[in-house]
Structure formats: C-alpha cells, structure tokens
A and B are shown apart, each in its own frame.
Chain A
Amino acid sequence: DGGITQSPKYLFRKEGQNVTLSCEQNLNHDAMYWYRQDPGQGLRLIYYSQIVNDFQKGDIAEGYSVSREKKESFPLTVTSAQKNPTAFYLCASSPDSLTGELFFGEGSRLTVL
C-alpha cells in the first residue's frame, strides 16, 4: 500500500546525543515536511523540502537538521543543540504545492531521559 512510514515509533535518548528519525514515502510526492507536536501547541513546522537536494527552514528549525538525497526519503536529525527535544514528530508529504493537502505518517515519539 502507498503511504508514509516513520520509524522508530518510540525513541529514547540521553541528553547530549543526536538522534535521527526516518521518514520514507512511496507516494511519488515531491514535497515533504517535518512537524513537531506538543500538547496545546498544535503543529509547528521544522523543515520542508519541495524537491530533491533542496530544503527550507520552517518556524522552529534550530537544533534540527535534514537531508533530501532521494525523493522517497526525508530524515530528520535532532541534535544535542535542541534544548527541549521531547515531543511527537510528524512527517508529511504533499502531491503538489497547489492543493495544500498533506499526507501524514503515524509519528515518532522522542523522549529525552
């Protein structure tokens, strides 16, 4: 089935460690996005990419990094510079920028111990 796969679903990390969240899609979508979700704050955009080898910062990019080497993949690295990384992370893709419709993965919950 076509869709977006995020892994791992749950992840624990010690302070000072970098961690990479995987996002893979087989929908042939050009655009991909990473959002962070915290209770009571809705979704905040971290990074987005509209084409391979190109990406832009969203509203809260500090402490995060991404790459887009393949159309299907958009991994997110949470670095040790991110001061409050415990959150639910959502990856999404979009067939084109005109519709504004997003398709989401099931999310990855990161907990810093």
Chain B
Amino acid sequence: GNSVTQMEGPVTLSEEAFLTINCTYTATGYPSLFWYVQYPGEGLQLLLKATKADDKGSNKGFEATYRKETTSFHLEKGSVQVSDSAVYFCALSRGRDDKIIFGKGTRLHILP
C-alpha cells in the first residue's frame, strides 16, 4: 500500500545551518507530494507541494524536489532560523478521493 517514511527526529541545528529532512514514499501511480509544518500548540499548515515528477515546491526559503526515480521528496533550507523550530510532516495524495497519507513527523529544534 501507499506509505511515507521520513527521518526520525528530533533534529537539532544551530541557527544559519543547512537543513535536510529526508522523505521517501511508496505509492502506485503518480501521487502529489506535500510538506506540512506544525508550530507548537497549533494545527498543521501546508508548507509546499509538488504534483509531478521533477517539480520543485518552495516557500519561506524551504524547497523540495519530486524525484520519481528515487521516490523521494527531501525538504531543504539553506539557512535555518529559530522560528523554523516545529514539526515537519511529509505527505502524499493520489487525489481522486484517496486518503492523504502522512509520515510520522520530524521535530526540528533550532538553537540560537
């Protein structure tokens, strides 16, 4: 069945460090891929998405490229800030009334 696997956290980095959070998926067909972010005590917000192979989603300095050959959608940011501290969820959807599948989340902690 469809599934999403993302790196376990917590991930702790210093401010201005480079960030990578790995995400790989298993799915039939051509799913859309998403990164959601959850700040402390809040619900999830869509961070970025990509709907087809080689698409790059980007927002707030974060980027992720849909790699069909490696079934991956890794999240990257060149210089993290303390305000980026949150839990990040990778997700996929095949649309057409299919349920959205979430990874387990990766907690990111940025030190000043």
Q: Point out the residues of chain A lying under 8 angstroms from B45, CB to CB.
A: 104
For chain B residues 32-79, which have a beta carbon within 8 Å of chain A? 32, 34, 36, 41-46, 49
Bound together, the chains give a CA A11 to CA B46 distance in angstroms of 26
Q: With A100-B32, A104-B45 in contact, is A48–B104 under 8 Å at CB?
A: no
Bound together, the chains give a CA A113 to CA B64 distance in angstroms of 42
Mark each residue of chain A from 79 to 113: 1 if its CB lies under 8 Å from any CB of chain B, else 0: 00000000000101000011111111111000000
- A42–B105 touching, CB < 8 Å: yes
Q: Which size class do B's interface residues fall under?
A: 20 to 34
- CB of A40 within 8 Å of the partner chain: yes
- B44–A90 touching, CB < 8 Å: yes
- CB of A45 within 8 Å of the partner chain: yes
- A100–B95 touching, CB < 8 Å: yes
Q: With A40-B104, A90-B44, A107-B43 in contact, is A100–B93 under 8 Å at CB?
A: yes
Bound together, the chains give a CA A58 to CA B102 distance in angstroms of 13
Q: With A102-B46, A107-B43 in contact, is A42–B103 under 8 Å at CB?
A: yes
Residues of B within 8 A of A (CB): 31-32, 34, 36, 41-46, 49, 89, 91-100, 102-105
